[in-house]
Amino acid sequence: MNASSSTISNVESLDIGKNLNVIAGGITSPKGFKAAGAIAGIKKNGKPDMAIIVSDIPAACAAVFTTNVMKAAPILWNQRVLAESQTAQAIVINSGNANACTGTQGMANAEAMAVSCGAATGISANKVLVASTGVIGVQLPMDKVISGIVETSKLLSASADAGYDAAVAITTTDTYEKQVCVQFSLSGKIVTIGAMAKGSGMIHPNMATMLSFVTTDANITAELLQKSLKESVASSYNMISVDGDTSTNDMVTVMANGQAGNPLIETEGDDFLLFSKALDFLNIEVAKTIAKDGEGATKFLEVTVTKAPSLHDARVIARSVVSSSLVKAAFFGEDANWGRVICAMGYSGAQFDPAKVSISMSSAGGQLPLMADGEPLPLDEELAKKVLAEKQILVDISLETGDCHATAWGCDLSYDYVKINGAYRT
Tell which positions 88-147 bind a copy of itself, by CB under 8 A: 98, 100-105, 135-139
Of the candidates 358, 363, 413, 411, the residue with the CA atom closest to the CA atom of residue 383: 363
The span from the CA of 3 to the CA of 381, in Å, is 46
Check residue 206 for interaction with a copy of itself (CB under 8 A): yes
Of the candidates 364, 255, 281, the residue with the CA atom closest to the CA atom of residue 12: 281
Cα angle at 401 between 375 and 364, to 5 degrees?
60
Residue type, 249: N
| Minimum CB distance to a copy of itself, residue 339 (Å) | 2
Nearer to a copy of itself, 76 or 394 (CB): 76
152 is catalytic: no
Tell me if 254 sits within 8 A of 216, measured CB to CB: yes
Number of residues that bind a copy of itself (CB under 8 A): 71
- Which residues, in sequence order, are CB contacts of 325 under 8 Å at separation 6+? 244, 413
The full DSSP string for 9-53 is HGGGGG-GGGT-EE-S--TTSSTTEEEEEE--S-STT----EEEE
- Count, residues in the chain: 426
Nearer to a copy of itself, 178 or 204 (CB): 204
Nearer to a copy of itself, 38 or 384 (CB): 384
Tell which positions 261-290 bind a copy of itself, by CB under 8 A: none
Contacting a copy of itself (CB under 8 A), which of 45, 83, 347, 382?
347
Nearer to a copy of itself, 185 or 421 (CB): 421
Check residue 358 for interaction with a copy of itself (CB under 8 A): no
Contacting a copy of itself (CB under 8 A), which of 84, 143, 270, 335?
335
Check residue 425 for interaction with a copy of itself (CB under 8 A): yes
Contacting a copy of itself (CB under 8 A), which of 150, 329, 383, 394?
329
Contacting a copy of itself (CB under 8 A), which of 4, 6, 159, 351?
351
| Minimum CB distance to a copy of itself, residue 290 (Å) | 16
Catalytic residue among 152, 173, 209, 221: 209
C-alpha distances in angstroms, 210 versus 79, 98, 159, 170? Answer: 16, 12, 25, 11
The span from the CA of 144 to the CA of 390, in Å, is 44
Q: Compose the 306-325 pattern: x for residues touching a copy of itself by CB under 8 A, - for all others.
A: ------------------xx
Nearer to a copy of itself, 244 or 365 (CB): 244
The span from the CA of 30 to the CA of 65, in Å, is 24
Q: By three-state DSSP, how is residue 379 classified?
A: coil
Tell me if 39 sits within 8 A of 297, measured CB to CB: no
Of the candidates 217, 215, 225, the residue with the CA atom closest to the CA atom of residue 266: 225
The span from the CA of 51 to the CA of 157, in Å, is 12
| Minimum CB distance to a copy of itself, residue 116 (Å) | 22
Check residue 389 for interaction with a copy of itself (CB under 8 A): no
Which region among 20-28, 83-91, 304-312, 336-344 touches a copy of itself (by CB under 8 A)?
336-344
Tell me if 375 sits within 8 A of 354, measured CB to CB: no
Contacting a copy of itself (CB under 8 A), which of 29, 109, 247, 407?
247
| Minimum CB distance to a copy of itself, residue 164 (Å) | 29
Nearer to a copy of itself, 112 or 207 (CB): 207
The full DSSP string for 176-213 is S-EEEEEEEEETTEEEEEEEEEE--SS---SSS-SEEE
Nearer to a copy of itself, 159 or 351 (CB): 351
E strand or H helix that includes residue 320: helix 311-323
Phi then psi dihedrals of residue 102, to 5 deg:
-115, 10
Check residue 195 for interaction with a copy of itself (CB under 8 A): no
Q: Compose the 58-77 pattern: x for residues touching a copy of itself by CB under 8 A, - for all others.
A: ---------xxxxx------
Check residue 345 for interaction with a copy of itself (CB under 8 A): yes
Check residue 343 for interaction with a copy of itself (CB under 8 A): yes
Which region among 29-37, 167-175, 307-315, 411-419 touches a copy of itself (by CB under 8 A)?
411-419
Could you check whether the bond before residue 200 is cis, i.e. omega within 30 degrees of 0?
yes
| Minimum CB distance to a copy of itself, residue 411 (Å) | 13
Contacting a copy of itself (CB under 8 A), which of 252, 255, 322, 336?
336
Which residues are catalytic, by number? 209
